[in-house]
Amino acid sequence: MRKITIGMLVFPRFQLLDIAGPSDAFGEVKVLSRGECEYELFIVGTTRGPVQSSSGLTVMPDRTIFDPCPHFDTLIIPGGLGVFNILEDTTIVDWIAKQGEECRRVSAICNGVFALGAAGMINGRTVTTHWMDVPRLGSMFKRASIEPDRIFVKDGHIYTTAGVTAGIDLSLVFIEEDFGKKMALDVAKYLVVYLRRTGGQSQFSPLLEIQASGDSVVATLQDYVMANLEARHSLESLAERLDMSPRNLTRVFKRECGMSPMSYVNDARIDVARRYLESTDLSYREIAQRCGMESADALRRIFVRRLNITPQEYRQRFRSADQAVQAA
């Protein structure tokens, strides 16, 4: 029997699904292989006694960082609100750094990557995290290269993932590496999840997160764009509306919003199109027209380029329950 040992670090207010999801996936390997392959899991606490997750449920660690531990082939650091409380705890950070030198693989789920950053393990590496934490990660660890739209990133022996359910994606990657694609596919089928999810995090995150202050001319322009998405906007037409030069408008817009005016227009069109796909039965052609796109084909091209999925796939995944029932 081939056995692989995995350590999962837990700290107060960790995200429970980050260890529960992978644990279930790893557990199915032994069942599906009829005992020929197995993951041996150890929960390692940063404190003695039960550790409470962010949901309020507790787990009892098998070890603590203060106890002797077996050699871990793989280490998994979950995310959770509590991760920010351990970044300056040298005992925990040193333990993670030491494991990083000894483990074949070190991984972080969601914002667990901040713990790897504190341990100096993401300098010069490409990583990802939950889309909401991307700006904070970039400001704290400037030597890391961040892929904000990726569900999963592998750089050397460091593995990082996006939001909480991405821990299951990560476990399937490990299972495929260790025991082959067929085993990973069998586990994915049993769990009723995709072996590889299409698209990136942008299919979940809003594109328009930054709005200019209410008394700004840029805010006035944003309101105009949102109310007139069907219009054929250009940088020149937007600048003319504010009696500004295109160059000056671009400078002011980037200063207040961090993006160009036309990037804002394009993101606005995609976000509004997403809302139509989620909540209406409008045709793709009608949605395209309402959002200022030339045709249903243009809508499709923009979605694939920006979100890595088609409008049809997006509607199937995210349409509201009421709309799905009506369609059925």
DSSP 192-218: T--SS--S-GGGTS-S------TTSHH
Give residue 203's pLDDT. Answer: 47
Supply the DSSP string of 255-279, one letter for each residue. Answer: HHHSS-HHHHHHHHHHHHHHHHHHH
| pLDDT tens by residue, the chain, 328 residues | 799 999 999 999 999 999 999 999 999 999 999 989 999 999 999 999 999 999 999 999 999 999 999 999 999 999 999 999 999 999 999 999 999 999 999 999 999 999 999 999 999 999 999 888 988 999 999 999 998 778 889 999 999 998 767 888 899 999 999 999 899 989 988 887 766 655 555 544 455 555 555 567 888 888 888 889 899 899 999 999 999 999 999 999 888 888 899 988 988 888 888 888 888 999 999 999 999 999 999 999 988 888 888 999 889 877 765 554 444 4
Q: Which domains does the chain have, with CATH numbers?
A: 2-203 (3.40.50.880), 217-327 (1.10.10.60)
- Between the alpha carbon of residue 109 and those of residues 8, 76, 106, the distances in Å are 11, 7, 10
Whether 110 is catalytic is: yes
Q: Which of 37, 103, 110, 291 is catalytic?
A: 110
